[in-house]
Amino acid sequence: MRRYSSDWYWYYAINYTLVIIIIFPIYWTLISSFKKPSELITSEPTFYPHDLTLQYYDQIWNFDRLKRLQDTETEDSDSSGVEIESKFRLDGEGVKRPFINSAIVSAGTIILTIIVCTFGGYALTVLKTPLKNFFFLLVILPILIPGISLIIPLYKLLKDLGLTNSHLGLILIHTCGMLPLGIFMMRNAFNSIPSSLREVAMLEGSSELKIITSVMLPLAIPGLLTVMVFAMYVSWNDYIYAFIFINSPENTMLNISLMKIALGGSQFEMKWGSLTAGSIVSFLPIIIFYTFLQQYFVRGVTGSAVKE
């Protein structure tokens, strides 16, 4: 690129315009979730909230408690004949329970993936496991067939195992989906560690488990973080499995509960307020991960796509 100053002027003008376009939907959702109903639903949109409110967050997070309150209020007003001014009618769904469910499934997937992929990667790299290469090919086979084409037999399987409607079923399916990339990453990580380290530890009489946890894993942390971040990405962002395999309200995942908010809502402003607040709640954990572990995120997410 030839360096004329006007070129650089254009370069940054284009880049910053793109940055604004990319950020805008997120910014708009964020400020919408804090706007008072009268400001949220208006024909003259405001580009920053003039009056902040947490009422949508309060509604979606404390839905159950508010619902109970509202129910007792209605009963009271019936019996006493006094009309209680209700600020809004509760619609949709609370997200507290679904948030916890999603957190359980994500944490479970991360932990199980790390255990399975560490041991698997270790056995297929460092140890003289029989049929090593065959097992490795088997483990990376799922990259040829995305899980989405197996939803019907997977549903049948979970049903037969009694794992529909359970967190465990989702955790196992996500972990299985993580195997190709996870074992591949861990294998690379262990491969780059000199074998002499293990030999020294063995001479000192360490067990294989001790060698993994105290010698190998500390050196494999970049690989481990990539696997962890990607397991988080896959399980937290899942929609289709959570939609098909879970069907009781108390086990609903976060992304599905937001759908109920989007579908319901006789009151326009509460629906959009709750939906934008819910979107922020569901984006928050993953954006925190992204902020601190960005390079692993980029490697994990594109690695999964490229299937190196």
List binders of another protein among 110-169 (CB under 8 A): 115-117, 119-120, 122-124, 127-130, 132, 135, 138-139, 141-146, 148-157
Which residues, 6 or more positions from 248, have their beta carbon under 8 angstroms from its beta carbon?
165
CB 110, min distance to another protein, A: 15
CB 74, min distance to another protein, A: 29
Instruction: Name which of residues 53 to 112 contact another protein (CB under 8 A).
Output: none
Nearer to another protein, 77 or 286 (CB): 286
Which residues, 6 or more positions from 125, have their beta carbon under 8 angstroms from its beta carbon?
186, 187, 190, 191
User: Contact with another protein (CB under 8 A): which of 52, 82, 203, 306?
Assistant: 306
The token duo for 99 is 């948030």
Nearer to another protein, 138 or 197 (CB): 138
Kindly report the backbone phi and psi dihedral angles of residue 35, in degrees, each rounded to the nearest multiple of 5, phi listed first.
Answer: -80, 145
Task: Supply the Cα-derived Rg of the chain in whole angstroms.
Answer: 25
Contact predicate 223/152, CB 8 Å: no
Nearer to another protein, 67 or 307 (CB): 307
Contact predicate 96/249, CB 8 Å: no
237 binds another protein (CB under 8 A): yes
User: Contact with another protein (CB under 8 A): which of 8, 192, 221, 249?
Assistant: 8
Nearer to another protein, 21 or 82 (CB): 21
CA distance 233 to 299: 12
CA distance 194 to 205: 18
DSSP helix/strand/coil, 262: helix
Nearer to another protein, 46 or 74 (CB): 46
194 binds another protein (CB under 8 A): no
CB 221, min distance to another protein, A: 19
CA distance 305 to 283: 21
Instruction: Name which of residues 195 to 224 contact another protein (CB under 8 A).
Output: 208
Nearer to another protein, 49 or 142 (CB): 142
